[in-house]
């Protein structure tokens, strides 16, 4: 399958306008680190628990990785599913893939065979690149099942012990770097949180993603004196490019990768490396805030604690801002495009009560009612957005795009918001049947479909219940038939089906019947009231 089959580009007139405005630079995404390399080749670029690379060393490593990928037969435009833990190796493979013209599909570490096979199939991926074993999970076992399920995947590359597969290759560092992909075509694919069923592919072009990074760096006032701690999964849009580790590399700063987000460990990293910026989800921000009462490590270097992925409740924002010396920056956005930030010049009330304002003057935001009519400022409605870094369609998802995009190109976010007169947005809820658990979007129908495969489950409704740590926890209300089911058994069943662990229920409720609406559909509103 050709890369552009199923890709919805910006309209030609918009592309031209964005070039004339200087928004689109027409440079390959991997060159975003070029100025940092030229200005500070011997400064540290990336660090994890075992490795530090300077900008010069990172450049050489990505050259070798690009050559290695070409040596095993990958060609410009080929898609590769990349599934890594937070590490220097991830940065090298991502930049090396981009440099080779290969298009990475960025899976999360928690994804399992259901999600990975779906992503590989939809993208037409030729390769899968992964760690050998991480967090007790053997990705080589997943790889073996993947090649059986998805015929297009004929190359498996493994970081570490490859087993029966191929070790992630490196080649001649003199590999040519002039192999430019068209800047208006996909540079990489992000993965949607999934509001309906399995995750969708989000195509981000060289032009739009570079602009995303540049505007995010400006909103964070990022420069070469900053050190960025990557504690969230680095394949997420937030820690990847908002401004993320790509942003810190673009300005000549230092990215620190860790797989341990506990305050005990992370605070020590902040003190050791002088970390100035970190991105957290609300649940993690709560834990870190509480930990300042007993952890002794010096976290005073931290000037910016970005919190996003889900709404940060006002009391939690106030508490975090007090604990970290006014460092909180609320971030509200989506991998599909629009990102909003509070700014340094905002007063404390704006920082703690709103989720920020759009980062680009060219973002076009509408707040509409159920009829699609615009509502005044201060009135709740669904957020619709269009702009230079917002996609025009999911990849190879024509039916879903018909529901998610208006005929004039606005993305229907499914978020309910109120717009303040200042342009700041206050998030009030969701329209779609989605649970936001610890910053991860979980589609209820995806979990329900897998639970209904159990022979003892006759009916099921999955919904989110309020949780002080996770924001929402996943509850499965089930009508069972002749089986004794408890939570460990349910989670084992879902794991055996290959469902990612973050999608699995945190609790189950066995009920005699599920309430239904007048037309016979499960009434989740009534059920939520019954379970709360």
Place of tokens 């995010």: 216
Distance from C-alpha of 476 to C-alpha of 461, rounded to nearest angstrom: 6
Contacts with 65 (C-beta within 8 Å, 6 or more apart), sequence order: 92, 93, 95, 96, 97, 99, 100, 168, 169, 170
- Determine the 3-state secondary structure of 488 from DSSP: helix
DSSP category for residue 376 = -
pLDDT, position 195: 46
When pLDDT is cut at 50, 70 and 90, the band that residue 112 belongs to is very high
The closest of 360, 355, 410, 354 to 383, measured between CA atoms, is 410
pLDDT of residue 517: 61
Q: Which of 281, 210, 267, 274 is nearest to 243 (CA)?
A: 210
Q: Are 42 and 89 in contact (CB under 8 A)?
A: no
C-alpha–C-alpha distance, residues 506 and 264, integer Å: 25
- pLDDT higher than threshold 50 for residue 259: yes
Alpha-carbon distance of 293 to 6, in angstroms, equals: 52
CB 82 within 8 A of CB 94: yes
Residue 481: per-residue pLDDT? 84
3-class SS of residue 314: helix
> What pLDDT sits at residue 520?
58
How many CA atoms lie less than 13 Å away from 411 in the CB half-sphere?
23
What is the rounded distance in angstroms from the CA atom of residue 477 to the CA atom of residue 510? 6
**155-164, 195-204, 381-390: which range is least confident on average?**
195-204
How many Cβ atoms sit within 10 Å of the Cβ of residue 439? Answer: 24
- CB distance 160 to 137 below 8 Å: no
Q: How confident is the model at residue 89, as a pLDDT?
A: 98
Nearest to 333 by CA among 240, 232, 217, 413: 413
This prediction has a pTM of 0.87
Find the mean pLDDT for residues 213-226.
Answer: 98
Confidence class of residue 271 from pLDDT cuts 50, 70 and 90?
very high
Q: Specify the pLDDT at position 47.
A: 98
Question: How many angstroms separate the CA atoms of 286 and 9, rounded?
Answer: 40
pLDDT at 518 over 60: no
- At a CB cut-off of 8 Å and minimum separation 6, what does 401 contact? 8, 393, 394
- From CA 331, how far away is CA 216, in angstroms rounded? 10
Confidence of residue 194 (pLDDT cuts 50, 70, 90): low
- 178 has pLDDT over 60: no
- What is the rounded CA–CA span in Å between residue 354 and residue 421? 12
Q: pLDDT value at position 122?
A: 98
Torsion over CA: 258, 259, 261, 264 (sign): negative
**For residues 448 and 177, which has the higher predicted lDDT (pLDDT)?**
448
Interatomic CA distance for residues 464 and 88, integer angstroms: 35
Angle, vertex CA 364, rays to CA 358 and CA 370, nearest 5: 105
Structure tokens at 378: 């201060």
Residue 416 CB: number of other CB atoms within 10 A? 16
Q: How many helices (H) and strands (E) does the chain have?
A: 17, 27
According to the model, what pLDDT value does residue 125 have?
98
Q: What is 51-68 written as a DSSP string?
A: -EEEHHHHHHHHHHHHHH
- What is the structure's pLDDT at 197? 64
Higher pLDDT, 199 or 196: 199
Q: Is 398 helix (H, G, I), strand (E, B) or coil?
A: helix
Q: How far is CA 166 from the centre of its chain?
A: 28
Residue 209, CB-side half-sphere exposure with 13 Å CA sphere = 30
pLDDT at 179 over 80: no
Residue with token string 């508490």: 319
Q: Are 291 and 268 in contact (CB under 8 A)?
A: no
Please give the full DSSP string across 102-140, using - where no structure is assigned: -EEEE--TT--HHHHHHHHHHHT-SEEEEESEETTEEHH
Residues 430-445: pLDDT tens digits?
Answer: 777 788 898 887 878 7
**CB-CB contact of 415 with 427 (8 Å):** yes
CA distances, 389 to each of 31, 255, 337, 362 (Å): 18, 24, 5, 9
Q: With 70 as the cut, is the pLDDT of residue 3 above it?
A: yes
Length of the chain: 532
What pLDDT is attached to residue 313? 85
- The pLDDT mean for the chain works out to 93
pLDDT bracket for residue 1 (50, 70, 90): confident
Q: Which helix (H) or strand (E) holds 411?
A: strand 411-419
Per-residue pLDDT band at 8 (split at 50, 70, 90): very high
What are the tens digits of pLDDT across the range 24-45? 999 999 999 999 999 999 999 9
SS3 307: strand
Q: Give the model confidence (pLDDT) of 396-432 as tens digits.
A: 999 999 999 999 999 999 999 999 999 999 998 777 7
In order, the DSSP letters of 504-527 are S-SEEEE-S---B-TTS-B-HHHH
Sequence-separated (6 or more) residues with CB below 8 Å from residue 412: 382, 384, 403, 404, 405, 406
The model's pLDDT over 321-343, given as tens digits with 9 standing for 90+, comes to 999 999 999 999 999 999 999 99
């Amino acid at each position: 399958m050709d890369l552009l089959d199923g890709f919805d580009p910006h309209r030609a007139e918009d592309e031209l306008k964005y070039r004339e405005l200087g928004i689109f630079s027409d440079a390959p995404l991997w060159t975003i680190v070029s100025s940092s390399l030229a200005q500070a080749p011997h400064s540290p670029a990336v660090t994890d628990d075992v490795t530090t690379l300077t900008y010069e060393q990172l450049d050489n490593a990505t050259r070798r990785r690009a050559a290695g990928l070409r040596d095993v037969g990958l060609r410009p435009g080929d898609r590769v599913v990349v599934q890594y833990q937070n590490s220097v190796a991830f940065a090298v493979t991502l930049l090396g893939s981009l440099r080779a013209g290969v298009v990475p599909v960025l899976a999360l570490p928690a994804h399992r065979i259901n999600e990975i096979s779906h992503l590989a199939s939809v993208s037409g991926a030729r390769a899968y690149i992964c760690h050998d074993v991480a967090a007790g999970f053997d990705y080589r076992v997943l790889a073996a099942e993947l090649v059986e399920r998805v015929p297009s995947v004929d190359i498996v590359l493994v970081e570490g012990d490859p087993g029966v597969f191929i070790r992630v290759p490196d080649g001649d560092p003199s590999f040519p770097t002039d192999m430019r992909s068209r800047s208006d075509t996909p540079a990489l694919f992000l993965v949607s949180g999934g509001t309906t069923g399995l995750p969708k592919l989000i195509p981000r072009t060289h032009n739009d993603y570079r602009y995303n990074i540049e505007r995010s760096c400006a909103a964070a006032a990022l420069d070469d004196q900053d050190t960025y701690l990557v504690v969230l999964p680095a394949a997420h849009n937030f820690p990847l490019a908002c401004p993320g580790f790509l942003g810190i590399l673009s300005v000549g700063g230092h990215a620190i990768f860790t797989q341990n987000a506990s305050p005990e460990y992370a605070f020590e990293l902040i003190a050791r490396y002088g970390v100035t910026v970190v991105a957290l989800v609300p649940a993690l921000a709560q834990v870190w805030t509480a930990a300042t009462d007993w952890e002794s490590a010096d976290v005073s270097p931290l000037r910016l604690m970005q919190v996003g992925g889900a709404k940060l409740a006002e009391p939690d924002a106030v508490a975090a801002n007090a604990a970290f010396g006014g460092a909180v920056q609320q971030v509200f956005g989506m991998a599909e495009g629009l990102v909003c930030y509070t700014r340094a010049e905002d007063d404390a009330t704006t920082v703690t009560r709103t989720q920020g304002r759009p980062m680009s003057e060219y973002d076009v935001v509408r707040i509409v009612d159920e009829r699609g009519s615009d509502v005044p400022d201060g009135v709740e409605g669904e957020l619709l957005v269009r702009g230079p870094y917002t996609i025009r369609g999911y990849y190879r998802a024509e039916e879903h795009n018909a529901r998610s995009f208006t005929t004039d190109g606005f993305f229907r976010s499914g978020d309910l918001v109120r717009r303040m007169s200042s342009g700041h947005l206050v998030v009030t809820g969701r329209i779609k049947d989605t649970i936001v658990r610890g910053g991860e979007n979980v589609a209820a129908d995806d979990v329900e479909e897998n639970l209904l495969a159990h022979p003892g489950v006759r009916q099921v409704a999955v919904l989110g219940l309020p949780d002080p740590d996770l924001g929402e926890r996943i509850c499965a209300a089930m009508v069972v038939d002749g089986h004794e089911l408890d939570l460990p058994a349910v989670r084992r069943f879902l794991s055996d089906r290959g469902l990612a662990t973050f999608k699995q229920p945190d609790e189950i409720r066995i009920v005699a019947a599920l309430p239904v609406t007048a037309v016979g559909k499960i009434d989740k509103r009534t059920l939520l009231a019954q379970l709360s």
